[in-house]
């Protein structure tokens, strides 16, 4: 397995993939480690995770540089990702004991009844490359806090990140076997999902991968959580402050070089502000600096792999062929590295690829609508349901519209983002289940009902 810099195209390092016997040994280590880890007090587990957060804080620059080298994330955003992981560790270190505490439920006067939240065992995580630290930590931290043990199958283009995460957790005090990174290919996932010793599986990735994992997990009657793709609408109402909204729109579309499931991808704009918004949006996209992601001044770096450039360009070309107007960008530059320029498509037909498919890169599709009702209809006219945002000067109106979105993450006057304090996940073909917050830490636990009856067998005089 090789790690390649998408900016320089240089091979950074090579990693040996484990044999079938080594994978088997890793699963067995997880099984052996689980009882002791689960038996440790939750406060003890949380102290270890808090130390992991401290290590991340101490090494922000080191790990940010690794992220940038392996998948091209602009360095400032890479630092922010590592810092967010440290925040996640601190959040669960503080909150997990409360979130996992027994929940006493009143039933009968002579009984004590409660729900306990108990770990289930080894959980497999199949994680993507676009947020190579954040996606893993938001799986690992709540599950380790809950008493589960984890096996990570990370994306094959970020093996250095996978190893670094494992090292951080072990250095913090997570014992060998409680969290392991398996540098294996996708062809190994099926066997792991089917293994009786793996008690749950979570995947962040494509719809196709999600369907395959869901089918396998369902046939084995084991819990799964899926966070899949998105085609998030960014709805600009007629009373939105255009300049400020366009500024947010640029970040919403181009953060992480446009490679985010929750990035705004379809910009649905009311006709009263359409021309003004498109003009401001285009000018701000055109002003972005594209180049070496290691430089502080760069806004957009390369995509993570050359094939991703090909896929995005095909979607853009097919959308233009379907009748859209190419207002900006739309042609890979003649330079080394997996670059695609900030691209703006207007007059997009509603059946074109940029309208119906997830575009994973800095390409924005803009749609003009005549009313709020039409904006909502178009926003929800998608097979995806991950995130959505609405922009307006009237926050009450914004909340009313947000409640009408068919999505798991609905924002008013802010672009969609993940936060440890709030549940994260989608509906429709964007997946099911939740990560983060109280809801996330309770996904892979046994919600056990305990009924303690008083009075039976009381001592007699």
Which residues, including other chains, have CB under 8 Å from residue 303's CB and lie 6 or more apart?
A: 6, 72, 257, 258, 259, 309, 312, 338, 339, 340, 360, 361
In the residue annotation, 215 being an active-site residue is answered as: no
Question: Which residues on neighbouring strands pair with residue 13, listed in sequence order?
Answer: 3
∠ CA(344), CA(68), CA(233), 5° rounding? 30
Q: What angle do CA 398, 401, 405 make, to 5 degrees?
A: 130
Q: Which of 70, 227, 282, 435 is catalytic?
A: 227
DSSP string, 344-356: EEES--TTSHHHH
Q: Is residue 354 classed exposed, middle or buried when 0-12, 13-18 and 19+ CB atoms within 10 A define those classes?
A: buried
Alpha-carbon 454 to chain mean position:
47
Q: Are 172 and 51 in contact (CB under 8 A)?
A: yes
User: And the tokens for 222?
Assistant: 């084991």
Q: Please state, in angstroms and rounded to a whole number, the distance separating the CA atoms of residues 106 and 90.
A: 33
**If you search the block for the tokens 């099926």, which residue do you land on?**
190
Q: Does 227 qualify as catalytic in the annotation? A: yes
| Strand ordering across the sheet containing 122-126 | 179-181, 149-153, 122-126, 200-204, 223-227, 431-432
Give the three-class secondary structure for 37.
helix
Please identify which of the residues 46, 85, 261, 410 carries the catalytic annotation: 261
The tokens for 182 are 């398996």
DSSP 370-406: SSHHHHHHHHH-SS--SEEEEE-S-HHHHHHHHTT--
Would you say 321 and 194 are in contact if contact means Cβ atoms under 8 Å apart?
no
3-state secondary structure of 327: strand
Whether the CB-CB separation of 441 and 142 falls below 8 Å is answered with yes
Task: List, by residue number, the catalytic residues.
Answer: 227, 261
């Amino acid at each position: 397995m090789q790690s390649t810099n998408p900016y320089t195209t240089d091979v950074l390092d090579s990693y040996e993939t484990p044999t079938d016997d080594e994978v088997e040994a890793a699963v067995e280590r997880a099984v052996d480690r689980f009882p002791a880890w689960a038996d440790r007090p939750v406060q003890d587990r949380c102290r270890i995770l808090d130390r992991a957060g401290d290590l991340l804080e101490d090494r922000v620059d080191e790990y940010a540089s690794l992220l940038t080298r392996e998948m091209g994330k602009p360095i400032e955003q890479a630092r922010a990702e590592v810092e967010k992981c440290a925040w996640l560790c601190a959040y669960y270190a503080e909150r997990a004991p409360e979130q996992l505490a027994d929940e006493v439920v009143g039933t009968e006067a002579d009984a004590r009844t409660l729900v306990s939240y108990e770990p289930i065992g080894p959980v497999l995580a199949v994680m993507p490359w676009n947020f190579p630290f954040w996606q893993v930590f938001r799986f690992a931290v709540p599950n380790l806090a809950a008493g589960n043990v984890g096996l990570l199958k990370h994306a094959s283009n970020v093996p250095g990140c996978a190893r670094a995460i494992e090292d951080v957790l072990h250095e913090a005090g997570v014992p060998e076997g409680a969290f392991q990174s398996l540098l294996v290919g996708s062809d190994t996932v099926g066997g792991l999902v089917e293994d009786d010793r793996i008690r749950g599986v979570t995947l962040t990735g494509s719809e196709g991968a999600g369907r395959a994992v869901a089918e396998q997990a369902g046939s084995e009657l084991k819990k799964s959580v899926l966070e899949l793709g998105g085609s998030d609408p960014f709805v600009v109402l007629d009373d939105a402050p255009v300049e400020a909204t366009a500024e947010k729109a640029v970040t919403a579309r181009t953060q992480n070089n446009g490679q985010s499931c929750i990035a705004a991808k379809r910009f649905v704009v009311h006709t009263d502000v359409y021309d003004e918004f498109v003009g401001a949006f285009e000018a701000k996209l055109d002003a972005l600096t594209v180049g070496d992601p290691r430089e502080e001044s760069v806004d957009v770096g390369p995509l993570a792999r050359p094939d991703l450039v090909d896929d995005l360009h095909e979607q853009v070309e097919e959308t233009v062929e379907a009748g859209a107007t190419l207002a900006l960008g739309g042609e890979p530059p003649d330079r080394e590295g997996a670059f695609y320029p900030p691209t703006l498509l207007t007059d997009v037909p509603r059946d074109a690829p940029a309208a119906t498919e997830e575009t994973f890169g800095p390409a924005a599709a803009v749609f003009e609508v005549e009313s709020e009702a039409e904006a909502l209809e178009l926003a929800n006219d998608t097979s995806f349901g991950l995130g959505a945002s609405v922009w307006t000067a009237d926050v009450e109106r914004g909340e009313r519209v947000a409640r009408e979105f068919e999505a798991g993450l609905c924002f008013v006057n802010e672009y969609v983002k993940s936060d440890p304090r709030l549940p994260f996940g989608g509906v429709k073909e964007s997946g099911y289940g939740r990560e983060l917050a109280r809801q996330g830490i309770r996904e892979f636990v046994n919600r056990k009902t305990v009924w303690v009856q008083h009075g039976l067998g009381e001592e007699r005089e």
